[in-house]
Amino acid sequence: MSGLVNILDCTLRDGGYYNAWDFRSPLVAEYLNTIAVSGVDYCELGLRSVKTESFKGLFAFCPEEHLRWLPIPSGLKVGVMVNASELLSGDGVGIVLERLFPVIAANSCVNLVRIACHLYEVAEILVAIGWLRSRGYKVGINLMQLGGQPRKEVVKLATQISCAAPDVLYFADSLGSMNPVEIAEKIGWLREGWSGDIGVHTEVDPISWTA
């Protein structure tokens, strides 16, 4: 990922948990234009998931045929998130990825794929990194619920992930329990096993940070 700092906005993807990823076209168009002029580098539009009856909104699936109709401003890079649990759902990681990403990155609207995984899913999900990168996608691993984990476990995970060579390693404060001191600590521990780009997704009540 180029540049000293890259900003990724995931308003639609994260906000979709409240409305089943069912966003109206005028709102999406206004949002994309606003993001483009704000200097954001990547826009994570939603999830890339096998279609089910669980959600009604297209941004829960982000199929290629839908993304091609979106008014994505020139220069704005698009990302989607995949849940590791779906990739590990029985048919095999490669088979599920073939369904989710039927075209190579050069023929897709998607630039970045982030794989959200719990710590116990990391070892099994690493094969997906090579699969996606071989098709031209940038790949990020998004570790969930890292707060409270011991140094030994964090360094071990970072080392495992480093061997698979994703483009960026993210961690999320999924439970909203991490303060700035712990976030800095976790970054330091990750650095013991990972030398690449690091991303952070915080979920913190600002009031809890005040002195």
Report d(CA 186, CA 183) in Å as an integer. Answer: 5
- One digit per residue, the tens of pLDDT, for the chain of length 211 reads 545 788 999 999 999 989 999 999 999 999 999 999 999 999 999 999 987 666 678 999 999 999 999 999 999 999 999 999 999 987 899 999 999 999 999 999 999 999 999 999 999 999 999 999 999 999 999 999 898 899 999 999 999 999 999 999 999 887 778 888 999 999 999 999 999 999 998 764 444 433 3
Would you mind telling me the total number of residues written for the chain in this entry? 211
Task: Identify any residues that bridge with 197 across adjacent strands, giving them in sequence order.
Answer: 168
Question: Please, what sign has the CA dihedral across residues 123, 125, 130, 131?
Answer: positive
DSSP SS3 for 47:
strand
From residue 19, alpha-carbon distances to 13, 22, 60, 71, 87 in Å are 11, 6, 10, 21, 24
Ordered structural domains, the chain, with CATH: 8-209 (3.20.20.70)
Report d(CA 30, CA 21) in Å as an integer. Answer: 16
On whether the CB atoms of residues 125 and 144 are closer than 8 A, the answer is no
- pLDDT tens digits, 104-156: 999 999 999 999 999 999 999 999 999 999 999 999 999 998 988 999 999 99
Report d(CA 45, CA 28) in Å as an integer. Answer: 9
CA angle 46, 58, 34 (to 5 degrees): 55
Report d(CA 139, CA 114) in Å as an integer. Answer: 6
